[in-house]
Amino acid sequence: MPIVSTQTLMVYSTVRIVAHTSAGTALGTGFQFAFRIEGKTVPFLITNRHVLEDAHEVEFYLHTIDSEAKIIPEGQQRMKQENAQNLVVYHPDPEVDVAAIPLGQMFHILKENGRQPLSVQIDSNLFADPEDPKWQDEILPVQMVGYPNGLMDEVNNIPIVRNGYTATPYKFRYNGKSEFMVDIACFPGSSGSPIFSHTRGTIVNLDGSYGVGEKTSLLGLLYAGPIYNKSGEIIRKPVPTNSYAVNIGDMMHLGYCIRASEIMALLPQIKAKFRL
């Protein structure tokens, strides 16, 4: 794997998902994640449950690198996973909108065809710890990386990065759940988008003192947003996977996000399902 900066990791670990269901085609976002199992790195694609749960076939696009481990700008490869439900792993709590699908087989297929995949995964070391002084501020700058309404740099396979802020303090469990809110417009196709906080400048050190530096962490992933219904009530609704499912005028341009730590709840299911 090439050595990459945290900003490069944020962009190139993010993957566009096209899920084929009996109802049609759904768009979503996922990101590469590395589980550590018995000393080995096992790559998965993390996204929302509602993106994958009805899919019989899933397409995604992976970057490739050259012999010098440099990213090939137009070297993306379209990969297809049939019989997807045989491989998808869901969070044990059906109310937590998180799921994963393995990437190892896709990497193997690329290599067999003479392509070297860009394998850049986030891991649990990048999780933001709500107890860490660095993340104690009530308002934090955040970046959401994904494919709103399917928008992307199609030639270079680059997602869209949107900037905003936490709308509720990350250090608190929003309404008693392992969640937080962000102040970012969340359009169809953004489901599963990773939410990072990347800042440069004055930072808070572990001992509470201040210094100058850089901090980057994965806060979580987007899954839903509040909208107005016809009665004027505010309801929570999963971010749609197609642009026809919601009236944009009803959106409040806020997002509900699941804390990154919930990803690790998938690990027991992954070990059992794949006998790892």
Report the range of poorest mean pLDDT among 4-18, 123-137, 227-241. 227-241
Query: What is residue 246's predicted lDDT score, i.e. its pLDDT?
Result: 47
| Sign of torsion over alpha carbons 265, 267, 270, 275 | negative
How far is residue 169's CA from residue 165's CA, in Å, rounded to a whole number?
A: 10
Q: Give the tens place of pLDDT for each residue, 38-92.
A: 999 999 999 999 999 989 999 998 999 988 888 887 778 999 999 999 999 999 9
Neighbours of 265 (CB within 10 A): 15
Q: Is the pLDDT of residue 255 over 80?
A: yes
Does residue 244 have a pLDDT over 50?
A: no
Is residue 139 within 8 Å of residue 133, measured between CB atoms? no
Pick the CATH number of 6-123+262-274 from 3.40.50.700, 2.40.10.10, 3.40.50.1980, 3.40.50.300: 2.40.10.10
Residue 214 has pLDDT above 90, yes or no: no
Q: Report the predicted TM-score, pTM, of the whole model to 2 decimal places.
A: 0.89
75 and 158 Cβ atoms separated by less than 8 Å: no
Architecture of domain 125-261: Beta Barrel (2.40)
Q: What is the mean pLDDT of the chain?
A: 87
pLDDT greater than 50 at residue 199: yes
pLDDT of 259 over the 50 cut: yes
| Block residue for tokens 């730590």 | 261
Residue with tokens 């190139």: 12
Q: What is the pLDDT of residue 266?
A: 98
| CA dihedral sign of residues 240, 64, 33, 90 | positive
pLDDT for 190 equals: 92
Is pLDDT at 4 greater than 70 in this prediction?
no
The confidence score (pLDDT) of residue 212 equals 66
Does pLDDT of 140 surpass 50?
yes
The CA distance from 11 to 67, in Å, is 21
| Whole-number pLDDT of residue 132 | 82
Residues pairing with 145 in the sheet: 161
* Domain coordinates in residue numbering, the chain: 6-123+262-274, 125-261
Q: b/e string for 110-145 if b means 16 or more Cβ within 10 A? A: beeeebbbbbbbbeeebbbebeeebbeeeebebbbb
